Every structure is written in structure tokens, then in C-alpha cells.
Amino acid sequence: MGQKIHPTGFRLGITKEHQSCWYADTKRYPELLQEDSLIRKYVNKELNNAGIAQVKIERKADQIDLAIHTARPGVVVGRGGAGIEKLRTDLQTAVGNNRQIRINVIEVPKVDADAALIAEYICQQLERRVSFRRVVRQAIQRAQRAEVLGIKIQVSGRLNGAEIARTEWVREGRVPLHTLRADIDYSYRTALTIYGILGVKVWVFKGEIIPGQEEAVAAVPNQAPRRQRRRQKFDDRSE
């Protein structure tokens, strides 16, 4: 059976960037790595209703810069900035008061085209005991309206409460996993249901990234319309 490599790790340094951008010596590296994990877990836990797509972390001396990509920036910021200030204070207490934390909230432009938000939506519906086929169909339709070039969704576990666990997947459009220049957005989430845990994987193909260009371009260029062939006229020689 063919095994799938992680699409993001496969493209790191080529078309994808690391979510943590910093350098540390060998002694401090494990500590900072665990700190990044703590920050991400805390943000996802406290802002579980804000639609967090990803959290990017940058470090500069005694300063930590967080870029929170969210579908609902108003929920993160709060009224008069109270929400983001509380988040900053709590994070600073968790990691130590000797470092300054700056938070930048970035709104996700297309919610229905983001793999993390699609997977989160599917998990929420599955936990409400909605049929997985219906949820997957709705997610694909919403992604197609967001003009993605391809999407693949895989759900694994005791689907609809079945006795035997199985894996179901649906793909629409192109999802080229072996093309390094392909912009593949991938996410994995778990849904906790009364029958057990269901795993949800989402691949979204947004286009191709040509080296030297930041924006993804359409994979298939617009072709010129074909000329209509003229019908050949034959002489009637039946007489």
C-alpha cells in the first residue's frame, strides 16, 4: 500500500515555510521547542471558537512575535482589545515575564478554502452526530464555491456508529501530492464522538507556486478557444 508523506513537511524550504522561525543553540533548543508547543496548545484551547487556522511564532532576543491566522478576528481581539490583552498577559505568565510577547491577528481571506478550518468544521458536525457523507459533501461544495482547484477529504473510524472501523475518502478536482510546486494545504483533526475518535484529513490544492513568485498561479492556463471545423461538402452522386 502506498504511504502518504506529510504534504507540508515534503515542501518545506521549497514552497512552504516553517511555522516557527527562530534560531537557538543546542542547549536551549528543546526548551524553546516545548515553549512553542505550549503556546500553540494554549491559543487553540482558549480560542477554540475563533476558527484558528495556524499560529506562526518568531523570536528576536527577548521578544516573541505571534501571528494568529483566524476566521473570526473580532473574537480574538475582543471588545476594545480586551481579549487580545488577556491572551497576551496569560501567555506571558506561562512562558515567563522576562520576555515580551507581541500578538498580530490576521484574518483568513477565504475560510472555505483553508484546510484547517474545513477540518474543524467537519469535526464539529461529526460531534453533533451528523452523517459524515452529508458533512463531506457540504464541505466540498463550499470549497468549490471558494474556487479551489481540488480537494480531498478522508474520514476514518467508526463511521455512523458502525461496529467495524473503516476509512472513506472523497476527491474532487486535482490534488497532485507529488508535484513540489503545487500549493497543497493539509490539515488533520480529530472528532470525539460517543462511538470513539474519528480522524479527519483534508488536502486542498490552491494552484502552483513558481520559484521566485509568492502567489500561487492557476495550474491549468486558459487555453485559446478551438476553431470550429468547417463541414466538408460532398457532391451528391447518387443519380
Provide the residue ranges of all domains of the chain, joining segments of one domain with +. 16-107, 111-208
What percentage of the chain carries pLDDT values higher than 70?
A: 87
For residue 138, is pLDDT > 60?
Answer: yes
For residue 217, what is its C-alpha cell? 498561479
* pLDDT for position 214: 58
Span 43-69, average pLDDT: 90
Q: What's the CATH superfamily of 111-208?
A: Ribosomal protein S3, C-terminal domain (3.30.1140.32)
| Alpha-carbon torsion angle 158, 160, 161, 162, nearest 10 | -70
Task: Judge: domain 16-107, CATH 1.20.1090.10.
Answer: no
Distance (Å, whole) CA 93 – CA 110? 33
pTM for the whole structure = 0.83
* pLDDT for position 94: 85
The sign one gets for the Cα dihedral 48, 133, 154, 18 is: negative
Average pLDDT, the chain: 87
